[in-house]
Amino acid sequence: MLSIIHNQRRPIWSASALVLWLIMFCTRPLDAEISSETDVLTGRVRSILESNCFGCHGANKTVRGELHLNTRESLLKGGAHGSVISFTLPENSALLRAIRYENLKMPPDAPLSPEDIAVLTEWVKRGVPWKGGSLEISQNSIRRTAISNEHWAYQPLSSPEVPDSQNGDWIRTPLDHFILTRLEQNGLSPNPRAGKVTWLRRVFFDLTGLPPTPEEVDAFIADETPDAFAKITDRLLSSPQYGEKWARHWLDLVRYAETDGYERDGTKANAWRFRDYVIDAYNQDMPFDQFVIEQLAGDEVNGVDSNTRIATGYYRLGIWDDEPVDPEQAFYDSLDDVVSTTSKVFLAMTLGCSRCHDHKIDPLSQIDYYQVMAFFHNTFQDIRQLKFEKTAFTLNTQTVIASDQEQVQYQIAQERWEKQRMVVDTELQKLESLFLESLPEKDKEASRDEHKQAELLEKVISTRPEAQRKRYEDLKSEIDLLDQNKVTPLPEALTIKENGARAPQTYVLLRGNAHAHGEKVEPAFPDVLGFDKPIFKPVDEEAPSSGRRRVFAEWVAGDENPLTARVIVNRIWQHHFGRGLVRTPNDFGINGARPTHPQLLDWLAGRFIEEGWSIKSLHRMIVLSATYQMSSKDHSQGLAQDPNNNLFWRYDLRRLDAEAIRDAVMSVSGVLNRQQYGPSVYPEIPPAVRAGASRPEDAWGVSTIDQQHRRSIYVFVKRSLMEPLMSAFDLADTDSSCPERFTTVVPTQALTTLNGQFFNQQASFFAQRLRDECGGHTVRQITRGLRLAFGRMPDDTEISQCVEWITKWKKEEGISQDQALLYFCLIVLNLNEFLFVD
Amino acid sequence: MYSDRRPHNTFCGHTRREFFWESGAGFTSLALSGLLGKEFFSEKIPGSESEKSWANPLSPLSPTHVAKARSVIFLFMYGGPSHIDTFDYKPQLYGLDGKTITVDTFGRGGRKSEGRVVGPRWKFHPAGDSGKKVSELFPNLATCVDDIGFIHSMSAESPIHGSAMLMMNSGRLASGYPCLGSWVNYGLGSANENLPGFVVMLDRTGGPISGAKNWTSGFMPASFQGTLLRSQGEPILDLNQPAGMPTGMQRKILNRLQEMNRKHQMQQRNSYSKLGARIASFELAYKMQKHAPEAVDFASEPAHIRQLYGLDNDKTEEFGHKCLLARRLVERGVRFIQVYSGGNHGDSNWDAHGDLVQNHTVHAAATDQPIAGLLKDLKQRGLLEETLVVWGGEFGRQPTAEYETGDGRDHNAYGFTMWMAGGGIRGGVSVGKTDELGSAAVESPFHVRNLHATILHQLGLNPNRLSYFFNGLDEKLVGVEGADPIGQLI
């Protein structure tokens, strides 16, 4: 077959041979041959276009009908009459119609030969594969060698000496030397230390996402021992609230949501177990390298257990179309979600940009992309084999997580239950047939229809003897009772499962098109980092997975990987200081920002690895540093010389995140429910927001008030209906990895916090709390209210002013004391001093 | 003709992204920062910014070339109206009714290669000077055809509602991308800071499939996302003061709040523009409370105008209300208004799988007069010239029956009709063709991207240049492929 196309003598094809050729070509399964076939095909297409079309539609600046056919982009763009290629209905592509002389007559002089038309038709059907990818790749590799030798992020970690800075008194932890030296070099001095209360509020929000209580503030002020700061730090790091705060940052990165998105936005059952796993991992200070390996290959590690399986839910969190228009493309979209997310989250590499072509900026080729994809290629079931009701995701994502003993117990109980039910059911059915037998002939016939049976039974039952009737009723209620007391199913988790030991062959997809296979590739690490080819242990034919991801995971988490430790250390720094040492936390590439303190970054990363990848130890060093303890106040010299605070001459003030706002409000109002873990909860949302869903009545669940007051990390994350209050305060977009939240300021936020139900309801809880704790004493109420919100003690003027307002409002507006207190509380919850952290 | 909206000194408009992170986003218009580049930004960040120098992220911007349109009203016929029963006249199809023919179709029922023809269920009559043939479903709209440019050769990539809706609204089958309205506001800002710049009005039966994904700002900040506006009741979420609050109380609360917030900022926090921004946002919210109810209050609309939109008729009242509101929003400078006809699932929208006649009769009757009224009202006020009205659904419908019996039609993304009016669009013109069955676009096929490109172009934005840097890519509404406006219409 191939020889026919190769044949220079252009054999004259009979129509039947042509059809035969096309059928063979079109129905061939995608296999190893296809890339070379495609190569041949594209080569042939090129020669047809060159000899027949480029004269008028080539690379010249002005061409007929503004249609250039010399590049794939221009071909797809079409000309003055619109697009010429249709992927949805390839045969109808204007290009093909034109060469078939249907609408236009192209080429105008004489039609192409039937075989040329057949070749072009086949080529269009295959998604117009275009040769030239390999050319670009080779150009890129030339550029790559130059870049990889110098770009900072691809170099091994350096081990910088801690510099000597002059003002030794200022230093609290070694990292301060790095900061201070740079400030001194630039003639800047660090801001003075923030007050004790300011630091306390800062560290409370930073480590737990909640404000300190006035009692906690008092105790800290009273503690004058030298290790007062360290004691609080350790206490917060070991509180359960620590994991609830820091897990949220990780969930943003791994695009955590509990639904699939798209048309049905179906629920991802048990996704919340992944959320709980992350909370636990942070709380236990799980070494970060282990955390990485469990998420990427928890099903392939030694000692697989429930938790490591739950960790692999990581793969399943992304958007997923359960009714894709092009299932094959959708299959690769799912893989792309994994490649893009994984490379950004763990390596700060934008490898996703190389899906369709070589990376425009970074030395990452299209081949790199598909080599990395090959590690994951076996993780999604091929959706093409499945009807959409039973899709790859729903079929293959849930795993029972229970001990062997629990599984045995379950099985015994289940069998017992089934047996019991069968016994009762058998007797019941016998009795029913007996009843139906007694029906008149015409009804007997009708009773074969299941729908009518119940009705007829009802009718006949009254005619049966008392004893039979009673027995029948008893059996019915026995069945009901059994059905109500089913054996509790074993817990399941959202996990990954590979399709057996053999991974499919991976190909480069030309222009990212799932239907256009290019060259074969094998799993390999991005070339620019200069690692040897991965070595895979041979796996048993019967093994549940290929073992590829474990190799990838161990490479990511290996001490030699120049990126992993830098990336996570940068993220931890980012969430303490409002920005990373590298300001683009998901992109350490050429296009990303350079580290403002490269030596500090490397030193922190090196130390992080030495200390067993302990995140808590990193937190401790950061929050106890003088750098972290600086005041956030303005300083004219700093502002003049370094307005962006690149050098960290002060601690930057920042607004609380959406979750922290909601949690802090409930904490201050006294209703926060600190219950941990479990299925997500549904705070009430306004009907007006639900109206946006296509089924408003079923759009959102119901939780008790008590459950609605759980911390925000436990709120259900529904892609098509995000909780509106938090959404207004810049919740992460869940469709791709979110490295950093926006901080927008728009008038609708003010409407939410002034008029919205949540804030007003919380203000009334807050007012009630003040009455409960301070009786009817206005001054005490005000003082307590401000303290709860600010942490610090309000000064006398502030208190007397507020008291004055309350008196005035009562007089001028004729409102009650309670109402006035409510409005005071509403003001407090809206204050910048409450919603921002110094 | 176009100016380059990308900064010249860097690749991919990277400075805009940096600007973004460094500023914490939202204090100066993003698109503006893209135009002005890094230098502008580093001048803006220094320490003296107070609330006065805060700029609303939606503050107006100049288009890159002379704009024909100032605002867009997108009348979204959710569910997919049948083009061959509305505006795409297929005379041969009547005679084929009931016959089984060979035709490639792709709908929710999968790919088929033959089917039983359902002839058009309505007659078509020539209308206007152009003689454009319009189905009896739209007797009122028929009187406006000389102002309308029809595109009969639309094609989309998906015949499935969810992804097709995303494609029509955001240009992609995948979710996570900003919607057309977000791009318009990103490019142009809003001309009225007292109202949102991207407004969505839903059907009373509910939102479309995928809900808020249809007006999301995707990877752009939330300031560019669509705001739901209700024509009755509280127009914008949380616009009304809480129940029981005395009339003058809110201003007093605001005064005290602002006083305390200012004092807080004065304590050596003046350099933090976010604090000032938040103070300013409260004043804007206060103004919005005044202006939004005024915008939705029809008290000043005379009886003949209400009639024009069909407010005096039960069938047309709901959609008419939204059309009239759309005109009032256009008058007030709202940039992008999307009005949904149909919501929820099944026959609550144009998704006529079952009884085609009943479904389309209901939805056409609900919208015909209001849309005609809107076009006429805009025209008589001289607003049609600067307002681009777009009509259409996420796809069209097949010429063949979906089931063994009945006249229900399945989805058809291979070919369908959309139309545009005003905003510099040539009226009385029809471009492109579907085949004689109406099954697929065959002459001058236009992709959804071409439609988007045309809309952006009419607003004075270059569709192939308007970009937003995200995830290492210069993202555009029209994608990496790019797309040109539909030349025959402009």
Question: What is the reported pLDDT for A6?
Answer: 35
Does residue B11 surpass a pLDDT of 60? Answer: no
Question: What is the reported pLDDT for A403?
Answer: 86
pLDDT bracket for residue A391 (50, 70, 90): very low
Query: Measuring CA to CA, which residue among B486, B442, B468 is closest to residue B153?
Result: B442
Nearest CA in chain A to B254: A827
Give the tokens for residue A518. 């290019």
More confident residue, B389 or A147: B389
Nearest CA in chain B to A336: B174
Mean pLDDT of chain B: 86
More confident residue, A548 or B346: A548
Give the tokens for residue A248. 């949220």
The reply to whether residue A86 touches residue B241, judged by beta carbons under 8 angstroms, is: no
Minimum-distance CB partner of A755 among B24, B158, B241: B241
Question: What is the reported pLDDT for A463?
Answer: 81
Nearest CA in chain B to A726: B222
pLDDT bracket for residue B47 (50, 70, 90): very low
pLDDT bracket for residue B57 (50, 70, 90): low
3-state secondary structure of A173: coil
The reply to whether residue B442 touches residue A743, judged by beta carbons under 8 angstroms, is: no
State the DSSP H helix or E strand holding residue A23, giving kind and residue range, or none if neither: helix A15-27
Nearest CA in chain A to B234: A688
pLDDT tens by residue, B114-160: 999 999 999 999 999 999 999 999 999 999 999 999 999 999 999 99
The reply to whether residue A83 touches residue B447, judged by beta carbons under 8 angstroms, is: yes
C-alpha distances (whole Å) from A476 to each of A350, A416, A470, A481, B379 are 62, 19, 10, 9, 71
Nearest CA in chain B to A727: B222
Mean pLDDT of chain A: 87
CB of B39 within 8 Å of a chain A CB? The answer is no
Q: Is A243 exposed, middle or buried (0-12, 13-18, 19+ CB in 10 A)?
A: buried
Q: What percent of chain A has pLDDT over 90?
A: 64
Ranking A62-76, A297-311, A359-373, A458-472 by mean pLDDT, the lowest is: A62-76
Question: What is the reported pLDDT for A61?
Answer: 67
Minimum-distance CB partner of A689 among B237, B281, B285: B237
pLDDT bracket for residue A131 (50, 70, 90): low
3-state secondary structure of A696: helix
Give the tokens for residue A569. 């250390």
Nearest-CA distance B483 → chain A (Å)? 6
CB B343 within 8 A of CB A693: no
Distance CA B277, CA A742 (A): 14
CB of B289 within 8 Å of a chain A CB? The answer is yes
The reply to whether residue A813 touches residue B57, judged by beta carbons under 8 angstroms, is: no
pLDDT bracket for residue B101 (50, 70, 90): very high
The contacts of residue A406 (CB under 8 Å, 6+ apart) are A490
Distance CA A365, CA A358 (A): 4
CB B358 within 8 A of CB B347: yes
Nearest CA in chain A to B56: A746
Give the tokens for residue B241. 């003061």
Mean pLDDT over A609-631 rounds to: 97
Distance CA B488, CA B428 (A): 12
Does residue A85 surpass a pLDDT of 60? Answer: yes
Nearest CA in chain B to A643: B46
Distance CA B253, CA A821 (A): 12
pLDDT tens by residue, A3-38: 333 333 333 333 344 433 443 333 333 333 334 556
Q: Is A456 exposed, middle or buried (0-12, 13-18, 19+ CB in 10 A)?
A: middle
Does residue A262 surpass a pLDDT of 90? Answer: no
Question: What is the reported pLDDT for A74?
Answer: 78
Question: What is the reported pLDDT for A655?
Answer: 96
pLDDT bracket for residue A357 (50, 70, 90): confident
pLDDT bracket for residue A764 (50, 70, 90): very high
Mean pLDDT over A77-102 rounds to: 82
Query: Measuring CA to CA, which residue among B429, B434, B458 is closest to residue B445?
Result: B434
Question: What is the reported pLDDT for A770?
Answer: 98
User: At residue A104, what are phi and psi to the nearest 5 degrees?
Assistant: -95, 170
Question: What is the reported pLDDT for B40?
Answer: 28
The reply to whether residue B285 touches residue A751, judged by beta carbons under 8 angstroms, is: yes
Three-state secondary structure along chain B?
CCCCCCCCCCHHHHHHHHHHHHHCCCCCCHHHHHHHHHHHHHHHCCCCCCHHHCCCCCCCCCCCCCCCCCEEEEEEECCCCCHHHCCCCCHHHHHCCCCEEEEEEEECCEEEEEEEECCCCCCEEEECCCCEEEECCCCCHHHHHHHEEEEEEEECCCCCHHHHHHHHHHCCCCCCCCCHHHHHHHHHCCCCCCCCCEEEECECCECCCCHHHHHCCCCCCHHHCCEECCCCCCCCCCCCCCCCCCCCHHHHHHHHHHHHHHHHHHCCCCCCHHHHHHHHHHHHHHHHHHHHHHHHCCCCCCHHHHHHCCCCCHHHHHHHHHHHHHHHHHHCCCCEEEEEECCCCHHHCCCCCCCHHHHHHHHHHHHHHHHHHHHHHHHHCCCHHHEEEEEECCCEEEEEECCCCCCCEEEECCCEEEEEECCCCCCCEEECEECCCCCCEEECCEEHHHHHHHHHHHCCCCCCCCEEEECCEEEECCCCCCCCCCHHHC
The reply to whether residue A730 touches residue B222, judged by beta carbons under 8 angstroms, is: yes
The reply to whether residue A634 touches residue B269, judged by beta carbons under 8 angstroms, is: yes
Rg (CA), chain A: 34
C-alpha distances (whole Å) from B265 to each of A112, A193, A803, A835, B275 are 76, 19, 22, 13, 7
The contacts of residue B273 (CB under 8 Å, 6+ apart) are B23, B27, B45, B49, B53, B54
Q: What percent of chain A has pLDDT over 70?
A: 90
Question: What is the reported pLDDT for A442?
Answer: 76
The reply to whether residue B260 touches residue A262, judged by beta carbons under 8 angstroms, is: no
pLDDT tens by residue, A576-591: 999 999 999 999 998 8
Q: What percent of chain B has pLDDT over 90?
A: 73
Nearest-CA distance B331 → chain A (Å)? 21
CB A721 within 8 A of CB A689: yes
Does residue A629 surpass a pLDDT of 60? Answer: yes
Nearest-CA distance A47 → chain B (Å)? 24
Minimum-distance CB partner of A836 among B238, B275, B287: B275
The reply to whether residue A693 touches residue B253, judged by beta carbons under 8 angstroms, is: no
More confident residue, A48 or B72: B72
Query: For chain B, what's the residue count?
Result: 490
β-strand partners of B76: B340, B392
User: Which residues of A fall within a CB distance of 8 Å from B436?
Assistant: none
More confident residue, A603 or A325: A603
More confident residue, B356 or A42: B356
The reply to whether residue B22 touches residue A644, judged by beta carbons under 8 angstroms, is: yes
Peptide bond into A534 cis (omega under 30): no
pLDDT tens by residue, B211-264: 889 999 988 888 888 999 987 788 999 999 998 999 899 999 999 999 999 999
Question: What is the reported pLDDT for A108?
Answer: 81
Count Cβ neighbours within 10 Å for each residue of A495-513 and write b for 16 or more, e otherwise. Answer: bbbbbebebeebbbbbbbb
Minimum-distance CB partner of B264 among A91, A636, A833: A833
Give the tokens for residue A253. 């990165």
Mutate to test the interface with A, among B153, B214, B227, B238 (most CBs of A within 10 A): B238
Ranking A17-21, A140-144, A735-739, B357-361 by mean pLDDT, the lowest is: A17-21
Q: How many CB pairs under 8 A join A and B?
A: 337
Q: Is B365 exposed, middle or buried (0-12, 13-18, 19+ CB in 10 A)?
A: middle
Mean pLDDT over A560-579 rounds to: 97
State the DSSP H helix or E strand holding residue A517, giving kind and residue range, or none if neither: strand A517-521
Question: What is the reported pLDDT for A317?
Answer: 95
Nearest CA in chain B to A736: B176
The contacts of residue A575 (CB under 8 Å, 6+ apart) are A206, A246, A249
Give the tokens for residue B198. 């991207």
In this structure, which amino acid lies at residue A328? E
Question: What is the reported pLDDT for A395?
Answer: 53
Q: Which of residues 81-110 of B touch A (CB under 8 A)?
A: 104, 106, 108
Question: What is the reported pLDDT for A75?
Answer: 80
The contacts of residue B279 (CB under 8 Å, 6+ apart) are A832, B51, B258, B261, B262, B265
Question: What is the reported pLDDT for A235?
Answer: 98
Q: What is the DSSP letter of A380?
A: S
The reply to whether residue B285 touches residue A634, judged by beta carbons under 8 angstroms, is: no
Mean pLDDT over B40-45 rounds to: 29
Ranking A386-395, A685-694, B165-174, B437-446 by mean pLDDT, the lowest is: A386-395
Query: Measuring CA to CA, which residue among A163, A361, A181, A272 is closest to residue A676?
Result: A272
pLDDT tens by residue, A499-515: 889 999 999 998 889 88
ipTM above 0.85, yes or no: no
